[in-house]
Amino acid sequence: YLGIWYNNLYLNDIEDRAVWIANSNNPILGPPGSLTVDSLGRLKILIGASGLLELSSTETTGNTTLTLLDSGNLQLQEMDPDGSTRRVLWQSFDYLTDTLLPGMKLGFN
């Protein structure tokens, strides 16, 4: 799995430490997987030579960066030339699991 976990020695079970898991329905069983941002700024998990799980589909021609914030939120950001964030293209806080962290929004449409 690809995810974000608490680094807490008091929680023995890895499942208790999971904050967010990208591929909870598609575990990586075979060849190693890698997280990548492609040339169009899309966030993807590559599995072996041909497997693919796309996390974000928003395309951008600008400079993109993937940042894990102190809050635990993983953000794909489009950057301005001066290094400031132009817009957030994707963030893990928009895909809740069973763990709420400070700063997450809980609501419904």
pLDDT tens digit string along 3-53? 777 776 565 665 666 777 777 777 777 777 788 888 888 888 887 766 777
Strands 43-47, 33-37: pairing is antiparallel
Yes or no: say if 22 and 5 are a contact pair by the CB < 8 Å rule.
no
Looking at the domain assignment, is residue 100 inside a domain? no
3-state DSSP assignment of residue 6 = coil
Looking at the domain assignment, is residue 40 inside a domain? yes
Looking at the domain assignment, is residue 65 inside a domain? yes
* CA 73/CA 31 separation, integer angstroms: 27
Looking at the domain assignment, is residue 39 inside a domain? yes
pLDDT(76) > 90: yes
Looking at the domain assignment, is residue 103 inside a domain? no
Yes or no: say if 101 and 94 are a contact pair by the CB < 8 Å rule.
no
* CA 96/CA 101 separation, integer angstroms: 10
Looking at the domain assignment, is residue 99 inside a domain? no
Return the pLDDT at 79. 92
How many domains, in total, are found in the chain? Answer: 1
pTM to 2 decimal places:
0.73
Domain range enclosing 81? 3-94
